[in-house]
Amino acid sequence: MKLEIDQQRLISEIETLAAFSDAEPPAVTRIVFTPTDLKARAWVIERCEEAGLAVRQDAIGNIFARWKGAEPAAPAVGTGSHIDAIPNAGKYDGVVGVLGGLEAIRGLQRSGFRPRNSIELLVFATEEPTRFGIGCLGSRLLSGTLSAEAATKLRDRGGESVDEVRKRAGLHGNLQDVKLAKGYYKGFVELHIEQGPLLELAQISLGIVKSIAAPASLRISIEGAGGHAGGVLMPDRKDALCAAAELILAVEHVARSSGALDTVATVGVCDVFPGAVNSIPSRVGITLDIRDTDLARRDGAMRTIERASRDIAAKRQVSIRSELLNADAPADCAPEVRGALAESCRQHGFPFLEMVSRAYHDSLFLSRIAPTGMLFIPCRNGYSHRPDEYAAPEDIARGALVLAESLATLSA
């Protein structure tokens, strides 16, 4: 089997897809189910059909493009990622796994390989939490991690429900039917940029993921008392922003003192009401994002933060309420998928790093229903979710080559 990746075509397709954007280049903004995103999805579907793949979409908009194997009834081997992009993002997050996956399939077709198990490209819908406030909506539904009932309750910032939005996008099926049967996939591999600096620092161009860190996120609202910035004396204040400030520092402290570098916690949103220079903040909304490779340690950190928040509320006489948005378990990547990736690297003499994925991906949820693995390629300075995100063409092509060989191994 002579397997070759058409690097030039793959890079030019990545550039073409980047032009489906609501931001000035090089920035990419592609929020799920906007007119721009729908055009991008249609373009990807055309590329899949051009490659002779049979395309279907489910009710939430996950796109399946299948290359039929010699035993079509046997479980498929899957690969893929997402094409939606947060505001002001780059060209490579998700896209490398979708277009790289497609090129891996085309490379296998050109080589004359005939898969025993079907090989399927999966474009996950609504991976980014931008629109509906929860990440990986498509793969949560596929894996049954989120129920159809819970999904229908989600709304976007404009107040539109998931059902309204998806139906306008032409997706009329039943959300109950999105969940995949157990055994649907024999294995699943996602190619992705690292979104961190480790591969670049080590000057190694491939990373095989061992485990995916467990994310949790909360929305926290702090209610104090407002008042005139001149009139209310300091002993009488119930300043919600001062309470938030203490809580934010407590979050940082808890993560720093967990005893492991794998614990990370972030407050990335802080909405202050009324937000006037001469008014005491009466209400503050913050978000908490906390992750760890160890579930018990992450949950322990969450409990410590909860205690700190009760202490701060009592001391400052404010009320602090938190709402859990998601708390997912970590995932270990499957030995057979890691083995297939490592074997391909060894055959080419490509060095690789075994690593932890600190960002979470659709693979976290796929791993609940199928043996799953991930392959990372470096991105410059570890930058991601910003316009100067960059992955080198040769790294992308190398990733697609190793992906293709792993798909061949898993489907032979």
Positions in the binding site for Zn ion (CB under 5 A): 93-94
User: DSSP code of 117?
Assistant: S
Alpha carbon distance 322, 249 (integer Å): 17
Shortest distance in whole angstroms from residue 91 CB to Zn ion: 12
Shortest distance in whole angstroms from residue 81 CB to Zn ion: 6
Alpha carbon distance 213, 329 (integer Å): 8
Give the nearer residue to Zn ion in terms of CB position, either 83 or 320.
83
Alpha carbon distance 216, 290 (integer Å): 5
Give the nearer residue to Zn ion in terms of CB position, either 94 or 138.
94
Shortest distance in whole angstroms from residue 264 CB to Zn ion: 17
Alpha carbon distance 30, 236 (integer Å): 47
207-212 and 353-357 beta bridge pairing: parallel
Alpha carbon 102 to chain centroid distance?
Answer: 19
> What phi, psi does 282 have (nearest 5°)?
-100, -20
Closest CA to 20 of 8, 32, 7: 32
SS3 content of the chain, % helix, strand, coil (to 5): 40, 25, 40
Give the nearer residue to Zn ion in terms of CB position, either 37 or 93.
93
Give the nearer residue to Zn ion in terms of CB position, either 98 or 369.
98
Give the nearer residue to Zn ion in terms of CB position, either 87 or 173.
87
Shortest distance in whole angstroms from residue 127 CB to Zn ion: 6
Give the nearer residue to Zn ion in terms of CB position, either 143 or 411.
143
Give the nearer residue to Zn ion in terms of CB position, either 93 or 103.
93
Residue of minimal Cβ distance to Zn ion: 94
Q: Is the peptide bond before 371 cis (omega within 30 degrees of 0)?
A: no
Alpha carbon distance 377, 81 (integer Å): 14
Give the nearer residue to Zn ion in terms of CB position, either 308 or 364.
364
Shortest distance in whole angstroms from residue 44 CB to Zn ion: 15
168-197 b/e (C-beta count within 10 Å ≥ 16 → b): ebebeeebeebbbeeeebbbbbbbbbbbbe
Shortest distance in whole angstroms from residue 195 CB to Zn ion: 7
Shortest distance in whole angstroms from residue 332 CB to Zn ion: 20
Shortest distance in whole angstroms from residue 249 CB to Zn ion: 30
Alpha carbon distance 338, 208 (integer Å): 7
In 3-state terms, what secondary structure has residue 271? strand
